[in-house]
Each structure stands twice: as structure tokens, then as C-alpha cells.
Amino acid sequence: MFSTPATPGVLGVFSHLDTTLDAIKKLRAGGFDDFTVYSPIPRHEIEDALGAPVSPVRMFTLIGGIAGCSVGAWLALWMSEDWPIVVGGKPVGSIPPYVVIMFEMTILFGALSTILGILLNTLYARRRAGTILYDPRFTNDRFGIFVPAGSDKASTAERVLRDAGVDEVRRG
Amino acid sequence: MAETRPGNTRVTYDYVTRTIARTLGTPSRGYFLLLAAAVALLGIGIITLLFLLRYGLGLAGYSHPVYWAVFITCFVFWVGIAHSGTLISAILFLFRSGWRTAVYRTAEAMTVFAVMTAGLFPLIHIGRQWYFYWLIPYPNERGLWPNFKSPLIWDEFAIGTYFTVSTLFLIMGLIPDIAAVRDLATGWRKKLYAITSIGWTGSNEQWRHYTRGYLYLAALATPLVLSVHSVVSWDFAMAVVPGWHTTIFAPYFVAGAIYSGCGMVITLLTPIRKIFGLEEIITVKHFENLAKLCLLTGSIVGYAYACEYFLAWYSGSTTERAAFWYRAFGSYWWATWTMIICNGFLPLLLWSKTIRTNITALFVISIFVNIGMWFERYVIIVVSLAGEPFTKWTNAVYNPTWADWGIMAGSFGWFFMWFLLFVKNFPAVSISEVKEVLAPPRRGHARAVGGGTGGPH
């Protein structure tokens, strides 16, 4: 959220997906593991090459959904009991009509907490990476890899990127 | 998309970004004329609403026993319009339909604005808008709570959830695209898009959480969209009015909603494609697929009509039979037959490929779909009430007045105003998702694979 000091490193700009994937594999083989890959679109190949675990957002969705369902049930049941009106001798808190409320609240809370999960997780990742180099072409048609590296490892990283067929390299 | 034009090298990532970003440039005169027309219609609606506030709902054509009339008709109509947006954006996403990418943003924006429009009608209908918060369960000095057994309360929860979730879904989809536009823009627009893209860079971590979250939102929106119009249908089906009280209503309403929504998507996409020159991105193939959805859902609607009449006869219930006889041959026969012709027979034209691939023909048909679906709701609501066989002596011939039409005109103005402002200020076609169905740029061209195999589709 607030800019952290710039992380030193090397930024490579790629025009092709296959060269990007190649660079990811070579970087991982070379012992680099906390680099950032930019791409204009999500690609499974990139995720697979990075070997990242499944996003924890799904836990947010699950917990939000269960919470929503419970809140829906509580809302309808408690409010009925709080002002009981008996109609035709039927139960004051009857489950079938309340399923609708529980269902809608499941969706509402599930969706809200999914959004929260995405925000918190990306924010956390961003904080961890710090302020790193970026290029506006990454949202258009270029792929990019930023390798955080001090002066000692920067030239190794640069060599790996050039090996894979990078178009441009910048140091930051 | 890519699979429709495998040899087209003109459509690259860069072409997609620039073509779609161009829609945000200086608008043409046609755009301003449309916007002015929308605002004028909205003005009519606002003036009518002021009259309704000053003199009361008596200005509308309510007459016993028809106390649900044009406002509720419009409410159901607009909620229905919303549905195909979520169908295209969420359900087709789960089905991995690549073609949705070019049209889903428009459809989704349509959803949000249609729900915004629909939400106004219950408020106008209650007459005293400043008490709208009585619908919300809040602790009050009388210790009262809403009746959770009432379908009207279910409806409030369903529509509220639908509006929230579809808005979130729209904004979620917009973020990577706003970032793409941000990186091309200059000046104040760059600042605006920098804030609204909330720091999107397209990094692997962002995509990892984003694609997962998007998947779950789609998975939540799918049952939601089916539930919303089911709940709307229960507003009627839970009552004992003949013509309303049937179990077929939920699937019948959902199919009708998607049918009308697909019609509205075609109505909206045709001018947008022309005005902004998006012919390469929104192709005839997309229109054809929308037409096929219309054909499918229109056929379900036609089948439901037949079912309703058959069951009214087969039930042997005299009130039910009388209600349906009144519907087809009573004072409102013209509304019923408009609905049957537009929704039952007109979509059958779409069996012809020549018509499905003719955009002018589709545009004309889509207008009739909209008219037919408005009349469907009018017939279900007004005609069922007017023809209630157990209150024969009170049957009134209900006629909408200028106040009903004024509010309805205002709702179209309200909807189109938001829609036109949206397509001008935000990418009306998804930039990143259109790219997903293109073959990615590869150095080794021999290994290039077709589109749609790598993205989250």
C-alpha cells in the first residue's frame, strides 16, 4: 500500500511466451526462486513453470460462504422468534422458506470474502516483493521477469535471461 | 475467436489493446445524440416521478383488482434483462466458451445497469420512497422484523445480493483492463485509471489469486442468477391468483429472462460495434452464438406457454380454465398474442443460418424479443389480476396512463444513460480476455498451439 524502498534487481522484457517460460525454468534451475513474472494475460504455462501452490483464496470463499449461510439462518430464525406471529398453527421458525435467505446470504458473503481474499493475498505478495521495476508494455503485449538480485548476483541473473532470449534487460 | 480466424495475423495483442482503448477516445456525434436522447427520456421519468410524489399513485392507471401493473411489469422486465449478462459472463466462463470473451463485458455492464433500473420500480411502486428502509431488517422502536416467509423479502435479498455480486464481478473483470488502458493513457485519464486499477501490474502473484477468485465468483454467480429470477417468479407463484399459482414459474421465468437478455445484448452490441469499429473483435460468429442462445431459451419459453395452457385445461379447474380463456380471448387478447408471436414463433426464424448471420435481421428480431418479453410480464401480471375469475363483478379494464408510460420511458433513459457513459469511459470489451483466446506470441512458430488452450478457459 505504501511504497517500500526499491528492491534492486534485473528486469527482462520478452516478446514471446515460450522464451519467457524458458527463462523461468532456467532461473529456477539457477537457484533464483523469488522473482516476479509479468504477463498481459493469465497463462497456465507460467503458473506451471513457477510451480506455485493453489491460491488460498478458495479458503476465503469457503469460510465466507459458510458464515453467510449461518448468518442467513440466524437472521431469519432469530427475528421470527423475537416477534412470533403464529399463522395457521404453523411453526414460527420454519426452515423451507428460510432456505432462500440462507442461500442468498451464502452467495453474498462468499463473494465478498472472495474479493477480500484476492485483495489481502495480492497485497501481501506486493508487500513482500517491495517496489520493483515495471514496464507499461506488460499490460499490452510483452511478458516480463523481474529478478531481485544484489550487485553480486545481478550479472548471473542477466546472463540467464539473455540465454533464454530476452529482448531487453534493465537494472534497477 | 482465434479459432474462427486462424490465419488472421492482424489481430495481435497490441491490436486488441489499441482497438479497444480507442473506444475511450473522443466520441462521435452519434454518441452524443444517443446520450442526449437517453438523458431526455430520463428527464421525462423524473418529471413523472415528481408528479407521482405530489399527487400520489392515483395518477397511474391502478384500478381494482389490478394493483400490480406497469411498474411491476417493468421491474420483472429489467431484472430479466440482467440475467443473460451473468449467463454470458459466469456460466459460459465455467463452460469454457471462448466466444464469450468479446461480448461478456457489455453483457455484464448491462446486467449491473439493468438491476439498477429494476431496483427503482419497487420503490416507485410503494409510493412513499422515503420509507424504503422499512424493507431492511433493522432494529426499530416497535421491535418489528420483516416477514421472512414472504417472497417479497426473499426478493429483496435476492436482488440485493445479485446487484452486489454482479457489480463486484464487473469491477473484478475491469481491473486488468483499466491497467492496460492506464499504461496507454496520458494526463488526467492516466491518473483516474491509475487509481481505479488499484495497482494492477499483471504479476504472477496477482494473476494467481485473481484467476482463482474469478473462478469462485463465477461459480457463486451461476446459482445466484438461476435463483434470482426463480425468486422473482415466486412473488407470483406463491400467491393464489389463477395464472400465477404454478410450479412451472421458476424455470419458465429463468428461460424467459435469458431469452430477453440475449435479445438486449444483441440490441446493444449492434450499435456499439458500428460506432466504435469493433468488427474485427465482435464478429458475426458472436452474433450467431447469441442468436443460438435466443433460439434455445425462446424454445423453452414457447414450450412453457404450451404447458401452461395444456395444464390449465388438463387440471379441470374451472377458475384456472377461465383465467387462461380470458388471457387468450378476453379484453387483453392483443397483449397475449403479441407475446406468443414474439416469443413463441419469432425465435423459430433463428433456425435459419442466413438469418442468424445477418446482423440487421438479428437487430430487428432482438427489438421484437424485447417487446415480446415486456408483454409476457404484462400478460402474466396485469391480465391474470384483471381476469381473476372469483371476483368477476369487480373486473375492471385496466389501462396504463401517461404516468405509467412516463416512468417506463424514464427507466429506458436511466438504463441507456449509464450504459453509454460506461462504454465511453471504461473498456467495453475485455482486453485481457480477448487476448486469452488468441494464440500467444511464440518464437518457435512450429509449436504454436490454437487459442483457448492456455488461459483460465
pLDDT digits (tens, 9 = 90+) for B397-418: 788 999 999 999 999 999 999 9
Domain co-membership, A33 together with A76:
no
In this structure, is residue A150 part of a structural domain?
Answer: yes
How many domains, chain A? 2
Asked if pLDDT for residue B68 goes beyond 60, the answer is yes
Residue B412 CB coordination number (10 Å): 18
User: Chain A residues with CB inside 8 Å of B143's CB?
Assistant: 82-83
Q: What is the CATH number of the domain that holds A40?
A: 3.30.70
Q: Name the strand (E) or helix (H) holding A146.
A: strand A143-148
Per the CB < 8 A criterion, the answer to whether B83 and B262 are in contact is: no
Q: What is the pLDDT of residues B133-143, one digit of tens each?
A: 888 888 888 88
Bin A86: left if φ > 0, else alpha if -120 < ψ < 50, else beta. beta
Q: Which residue of B has its CA nearest to A145?
A: B203
User: Chain A residues with CB inside 8 Å of B169's CB?
Assistant: 111
Instruction: Give me the residues paired with residue A168 across strands.
Output: A13
Asked if pLDDT for residue B449 goes beyond 90, the answer is no
In this structure, is residue A90 part of a structural domain?
Answer: yes
Longest dimension (CA), chain B: 81
Mean pLDDT, range B144-161, rounded to an integer:
90
ipTM: 0.92
Instruction: Give me the residues paired with residue A9 across strands.
Output: A148
Domain co-membership, A75 together with A35:
no
Domain co-membership, A69 together with A45:
no
* Cβ-defined contact of A107 to B161 (cutoff 8 Å): yes
Per the CB < 8 A criterion, the answer to whether A43 and B204 are in contact is: no
* Cβ-defined contact of A42 to B436 (cutoff 8 Å): yes
Mean pLDDT, range B72-86, rounded to an integer:
92
In this structure, is residue A137 part of a structural domain?
Answer: yes
Q: What is the pLDDT of residues A50-68, one digit of tens each?
A: 988 899 999 999 999 999 9
Q: Which of B146, B165, B212 sits opposite A57 (nearest CB)?
A: B212
Q: Is residue B360 exposed (0-12), middle (13-18) or buried (19+ Cβ within 10 Å)?
A: exposed
Which residue range is the domain that position A97 belongs to?
A: 57-116
Longest dimension (CA), chain A: 82
Angle at CA of residue A103, ends A87 and B264, nearest 5°: 110
Domain co-membership, A39 together with A14:
yes
Percent of chain B with pLDDT over 90: 56
**Quick one: pLDDT at residue B454?**
40
Query: Beta strands A143-148 and A36-38: pairing type?
Result: antiparallel
In this structure, is residue A48 part of a structural domain?
Answer: yes
- Give helix B204-237 / helix A57-82 axis angle, nearest 10°: 30
Q: Which of A92, A116, A140 is the last residue of a domain?
A: A116
Model confidence at B452, pLDDT cuts 50, 70, 90, reads very low
What rounded mean pLDDT belongs to chain A? 89
The C-alpha cell at B22 is 480507442
Higher-confidence residue of B391 and B185: namely: B185
**Quick one: pLDDT at residue A3?**
62
Domain co-membership, A39 together with A71:
no
Asked if pLDDT for residue A12 goes beyond 70, the answer is yes
In this structure, is residue A64 part of a structural domain?
Answer: yes
Q: Which of residues 86-115 of A touch B (CB under 8 A)?
A: 87, 94, 97-98, 100-101, 103-105, 107-108, 110-112, 114-115
Q: Which residue of B has its CA nearest to A129?
A: B205
Model confidence at B116, pLDDT cuts 50, 70, 90, reads very high
**Quick one: pLDDT at residue B311?**
92
Euclidean distance between CA atoms B48 and B71, whole angstroms = 13
Asked if pLDDT for residue A158 goes beyond 50, the answer is yes
Model confidence at B85, pLDDT cuts 50, 70, 90, reads confident
Q: What is the pLDDT of residues A89-123, one digit of tens each?
A: 888 888 899 999 999 999 999 999 999 999 999 99
In this structure, is residue A31 part of a structural domain?
Answer: yes
What rounded mean pLDDT belongs to chain B? 88
Q: Which of A50, A57, A94 sits opposite B216 (nearest CB)?
A: A57
A39 touches chain B (CB under 8 A): yes
Mean pLDDT, range B336-343, rounded to an integer:
94
Domain co-membership, A65 together with A99:
yes
Asked if pLDDT for residue B456 goes beyond 50, the answer is no
Domain co-membership, A64 together with A110:
yes
Domain co-membership, A63 together with A48:
no
**Quick one: pLDDT at residue B407?**
95
Percent of chain B with pLDDT over 70: 93
Model confidence at A2, pLDDT cuts 50, 70, 90, reads low
Angle at CA of residue A40, ends A36 and A41, nearest 5°: 100
Asked if pLDDT for residue A74 goes beyond 90, the answer is yes
A47 touches chain B (CB under 8 A): yes
**Quick one: pLDDT at residue B87?**
85
**Quick one: pLDDT at residue B19?**
84
Asked if pLDDT for residue B451 goes beyond 50, the answer is no
For the ranges B31-35, B263-267, B436-440, which has the lowest average pLDDT? B436-440
Domain co-membership, A25 together with A70:
no
Euclidean distance between CA atoms B15 and B8, whole angstroms = 12
Residue in B269, B217, B287 with CA at minimum distance from that of residue B428: B269
Domain co-membership, A78 together with A37:
no
**Quick one: pLDDT at residue B393?**
59
**Quick one: pLDDT at residue B395?**
61
Name the strands in the sheet holding A36-38, side by side, starting at the edge strand that comes first in the sequence: A36-38, A143-148, A9-14, A168-171
Would you call the peptide bond into B347 cis, given omega within 30 degrees of 0 as the criterion? no
Domain co-membership, A40 together with A69:
no
Q: What is the pLDDT of residues B4-24, one digit of tens each?
A: 444 456 778 888 888 888 888
Interface test with A, best of B203, B214, B215, B433 (most A CBs within 10 A): B203
What are the φ/ψ torsions at residue B150 (nearest 5 degrees)? -90, 130
Per the CB < 8 A criterion, the answer to whether B191 and B149 are in contact is: no
Question: Could you tell me how many residues make up chain B?
Answer: 457
Mean pLDDT, range A71-89, rounded to an integer:
88
In this structure, is residue A2 part of a structural domain?
Answer: no
Domain co-membership, A67 together with A111:
yes
